[in-house]
Structure 1
């Protein structure tokens, strides 16, 4: 029983239309599912991914129109990485970000890989990471985009950084419960005496890493537009997910129990520092209710919400675009 890597990251936007423009038109990702938050169906839930919507490539957003600005801080999922195939791709993106006025930093090597940190218009903290030296989990297939050559396209999610006030508590969850293993360390950019730990699972590599950073100099992050709600990790199938739920129960880790999200099955854990971590199955997938060729073009609703379609559509503002 071993988690396969990062499944998806779910963040918050206050502007679904602007969010759709950034991630499809500028970042070149595919909108593979236009749906709603299943727990609050008056808000959009948008899924961006590679061409096929493969697990491990999904960056998703809940739209909360009146969300305030994020106050960055500790006990947060503080950085989301997106993978590209090569170092050369980073130079393409550097010029593209400049063209579109995207806030970015210089290309920097981190843990032996070239990277660029950048933000979207709402301050979402992101980083491109090169897969040129990756020997772990394979990336996906970039969506065809007229301005982004396929060899430079986004191929999936990379390492996800957790910034917490009490590193020992989250370390126990990552190592002892979720069975990730330490793979590397590097000095904190804020306090060079403190080590940041890179954890790995499954085949390892850029698609299977969590990074744990302890910070005692910050207040707790206030979630808002531009922040991350949760990170999900990959369980192979429903049988394995059931085994994980049994393990969580046996180890007295508070959890949600089994939840059917239709496109995948899930269980949610609340980390001792307050982070939300989901375990999610690789399937059934986003083509469960619409053809592969037209995924993301229409509002998709899971079966239990279908009877409320008219009411739900009435409350949502049309988005247009996306593919």
Structure 2
């Protein structure tokens, strides 16, 4: 049986590795921990130079990027809304979230939120590569998370049949801001 311990890393594409490293350090205090560069892809042996960078996202979590200079310019999936694909990073609490928003805005970053998701609150912004980022602070109680877990499978089953939002956890968006 497979038992996942955690993410080793999550990788995205970037336009410029150096700019990406500098932005994540300046805006999110994430340090560069590793850089790997090859002229040939190890898994496929394709001749395709790349720079693969790894950033410390805290507690053993790693956010990685590839710069691919010989590939067409980056674009996003035009069939997927910009709010769907995003990288969500956890902060300690709501005060840390508010402080992060102030820090980002002071550096010229447009920030949306905080947005109330019931058991967590989030802010949203974009990195220089066009990736949407979310900073989230958990605000839910253990009982609320227990309630959500208890209805999760029922919600999936109802969704698969109706493709309409089940009401099992509608209370999430009815909580006070």
Provide TM-score, normalisation by structure 1.
Answer: 0.38
Instruction: Give 1:75 shift.
Output: 11
Confirm or deny: 8 A CA contact 2:49 2:68 kept in the other structure: no
1:120 counterpart residue number: 127
> CA 1:72 to 1:85, structure 2 compared with 1: closer, same or farther past 3 Å?
farther
Provide the secondary structure at the position in 1 that maps to 2:135. strand
2:65 to 61, 68, 81: 61
Q: Residue deviations 1:143-171, cap 9 Å, x none?
A: xxxxxxxxxxxxxxxxxxxxxxxxxxxxx
1:46 counterpart residue number: 53
2:87 counterpart residue number: 80
Provide TM-score, normalisation by structure 2.
Answer: 0.65
Provide the secondary structure at the position in 2 that maps to 1:90. helix
1:95 counterpart residue number: 102
- What are the equivalent positions in structure 2 for 1:163-174 lying under 5 Å apart? none
> CA 1:107 to 1:17, structure 2 compared with 1: closer, same or farther past 3 Å?
same
Q: Is 1:195 aligned with 2:165? A: yes
Provide the secondary structure at the position in 1 that maps to 2:9. strand
Instruction: Give 1:14 shift.
Output: 1.2
Relative contact order higher in (CA < 8 Å, ≥ 6 apart):
1
- Cα separation, 1, equivalents of 2:80 and 2:118: 22
Confirm or deny: 8 A CA contact 1:104 1:117 kept in the other structure: yes
> CA 1:124 to 1:85, structure 2 compared with 1: closer, same or farther past 3 Å?
same
Instruction: Give 1:125 shift.
Output: 1.3
1:23 counterpart residue number: 24
- CA RMSD between the two structures: 3.3
Instruction: Give 1:7 shift.
Output: 4.0
> CA 1:110 to 1:132, structure 2 compared with 1: closer, same or farther past 3 Å?
closer
> CA 1:51 to 1:114, structure 2 compared with 1: closer, same or farther past 3 Å?
closer
The structure carrying a bigger helix percent of its residues is 2
Confirm or deny: 8 A CA contact 1:45 1:63 kept in the other structure: yes
- What are the equivalent positions in structure 2 for 1:187-226 lying under 5 Å apart? 194-195=164-165
> CA 1:184 to 1:26, structure 2 compared with 1: closer, same or farther past 3 Å?
farther
- Cα separation, 1, equivalents of 2:6 and 2:107: 32
2:116 to 106, 109, 114: 109
Instruction: Give 1:6 shift.
Output: 4.1
- Cα separation, 1, equivalents of 2:34 and 2:16: 17
